[in-house]
Structure 1
Amino acid sequence: MQNILETPVLLLDERRMQHNIERMQNRMDKLGVSFRPHVKTSKCLEVARRQIAAGARGITVSTLKEAEEFFRAGVEDILYAVAIVPNKLDHALKLIRAGLRLTLLVESVAMAEQVARHGAEHGVCYEVLIEIDTDGHRSGVKPADPMLLDIAAALQGGARLKGVMTHAGASYDLNTPEALEAMAEQERSRCVAAAMLLRGAGHACDVVSVGSTPTALSARHLDGVTEVRAGVYVFFDMVMADVGVCTRDEIAISVLCTVIGHQPAQGWIITDGGWMAMSRDLGHQAHGYGVVCDADGQPLPDLGFGKANQEHGVLQWRGDAGVDIVQRFPVGSSLRVLPNHACATGAQHGQYHVIPQNGGDWPVWPRFSGW
């Protein structure tokens, strides 16, 4: 099948994906928490359906476009896990009025006040989480910051405090089980502490939402947590393999490309899979633009991928200098590349060509993009 595909194309191994879905869901079930997968990784209805069938309760999105697309497909419980801003409130209002149970996120008093005011003006009560910074990675309010109570106090009238949420993105920089376990506990304990602070001040805080793929797969317990979110686990990628939460054999997506030429004097094999097919995300920079594999997906350690142009991938032969790379990798031959960052590579493509777990024809699953 792959020999007749016009490359570059994004391949999805259904068997690996299903294994990843079941692995995460089973772990969440054992830890006694709800699981709300982050669908920004796949942006694909067929993938999300399998996550929901496995036991997910609602989904997480990173754009209101995602919320709109998945709601149209029948998903009715969605967390928009990026701090809301004024120019998106009308879009959120439209979705809520259409029947979507949409939860918003804030991290400032000013935005909490605007959300509450907008809700009151339009006759709705927005359900809102406060983002908690548990690792200094990106955004949110520190668990003991007095501003936390000020934000909660501002969520009244047209808004209701639903709970707290955090994302331990710093876990992506770790690579030992001990460090990952410690980060998972830090994420849990600090988010729970924020919830307890709010409750102690008389605020309801029903939801305590944590999650990243590394911490979800490393937590020993999740006492005080009500739900976990994770996204990249559904496909995994080389960053996750380097972190240590998956093997290369569990990475479910790859980019199929074709050899289009050679520069034998420099040891280069040129493909039609440049950075437009892979993205410019170099991950931990250990693998260039990705890990090169043969047509069956087996890694080729003697081929590096350290250079790319928009539509050209420049692979470097690092093996025996006596090998004729033109004969070994002739024009027209197929290679596959495991991505550094599944979300970023997926965003370069409009569909998945699915390698079915039970054989037969390869279906095509659409994915969407945009905001």
Structure 2
Amino acid sequence: MRSQTPAAIIDQAKARHNCNLLLDAIKAAGVSFRAHVKTHETTQLTRLQVGADCKDVRLVVSTLMEAEQLVPLLLEYKSRGAAVNVLYGVPLGPSQAQRLSAVGKTMGEGRTAAMVDDIGQLPALTVVKHFAGFAPAFFVKIDTGYQRAGRAPGSHTLNTLLEQIDVGEGAGNCVFKG
């Protein structure tokens, strides 16, 4: 039988082994981590990344479609008492705000977060709050030297953004996480 193309073909045993190595390492270290699903975009591999009995499911996605398709899995973990959170890891623009708020509303308060790297993105957080019904959590995206996204540490742009965030958070529009 011929498989459809394009198709991702992986060695499931190796993937499971590698995920278990990571899960054992973070358990031994007593830390948590945020699994990135942008490469595989599948529920099956996400399950391997976080483990079957995970009580702290943290994911980062690069598209809202990834977040939307993971909602049933996250609700499953949530129903088993796990803390769940999905971070939209791309700076939030106005065109994504309503879709992110729909995921947030389905998941519940504190279960979704966004990234921002420009003061022009702060109004999108207000849109998320309006449609989700609660203030969204967010992180500031910092450029770690690759010049792909985020703001350089100590830059005027970053400082201005942080000043605006302080005002916006004080007004209850968003919850600054880091």
Shorter-chain TM-score bucket reads: 0.7 to 0.9
Distance in 2, Cα, partners of 1:115 & 1:87: 8
* Conserved 8 A contact 2:23-2:51: no
How many Å apart are 1:23 and its aligned residue?
2.3
Cross-structure match for 2:58? 58
- Residues 4-60 of structure 1 deviation map (CA, whole Å, 9 limit, x = unaligned): 334655322111101211222233334442111101111111111122216563211
Note the residue ranges of structure 1 that are not aligned, 5 or more in a row.
Answer: 164-371
Distance in 2, Cα, partners of 1:142 & 1:52: 31
Cross-structure match for 2:124? 115
Note the residue ranges of structure 2 that are not aligned, 5 or more in a row.
Answer: 76-83
- Residues 176-227 of structure 1 deviation map (CA, whole Å, 9 limit, x = unaligned): xxxxxxxxxxxxxxxxxxxxxxxxxxxxxxxxxxxxxxxxxxxxxxxxxxxx
Cross-structure match for 1:85? 93
* Larger relative helix fraction: 2
Cross-structure match for 2:143? 133
SS in structure 1 of the partner of residue 35 of structure 2: coil
Using CA pairs below 8 Å that are at least 6 residues apart, which structure has the higher relative contact order? 1
Cross-structure match for 2:177? 162
How many Å apart are 1:148 and its aligned residue?
4.5
- Note closer, same or farther for the CA distance 1:31–1:135 as it changes in structure 2 (3 Å cut): farther
Distance in 1, Cα, partners of 2:128 & 2:2: 50
How many Å apart are 1:66 and its aligned residue?
0.8
* Matching residue within 13, 29, 36 for 1:15: 13
- Note closer, same or farther for the CA distance 1:161–1:22 as it changes in structure 2 (3 Å cut): same
Supply the RMSD in Å over aligned alpha carbons: 2.3
* Matching residue within 146, 153, 156 for 2:166: 153
SS in structure 2 of the partner of residue 89 of structure 1: helix
* Conserved 8 A contact 2:88-2:115: yes
How many Å apart are 1:84 and its aligned residue?
0.6
SS in structure 2 of the partner of residue 51 of structure 1: helix
TM-score (norm 1): 0.39
- Residues 124-171 of structure 1 deviation map (CA, whole Å, 9 limit, x = unaligned): 2011111111213311122223235224324322211011xxxxxxxx
Q: Which has the larger radius of gyration?
A: 1
Distance in 2, Cα, partners of 1:51 & 1:91: 25
* Larger relative strand fraction: 1
Counterpart AA for 1:155 = G
Counterpart AA for 2:35 = P
Of all paired residues, the percent bearing the same amino acid is 25
Aligned ranges for residues 112-261 of structure 1 at < 5 Å? 112=122, 114-119=123-128, 121-122=130-131, 123-145=133-155, 146-156=159-169, 157-163=172-178
* Matching residue within 2, 7, 18 for 1:5: 2
SS in structure 2 of the partner of residue 97 of structure 1: helix
TM-score (norm 2): 0.77
Cross-structure match for 1:94? 102
Number of aligned residues: 159
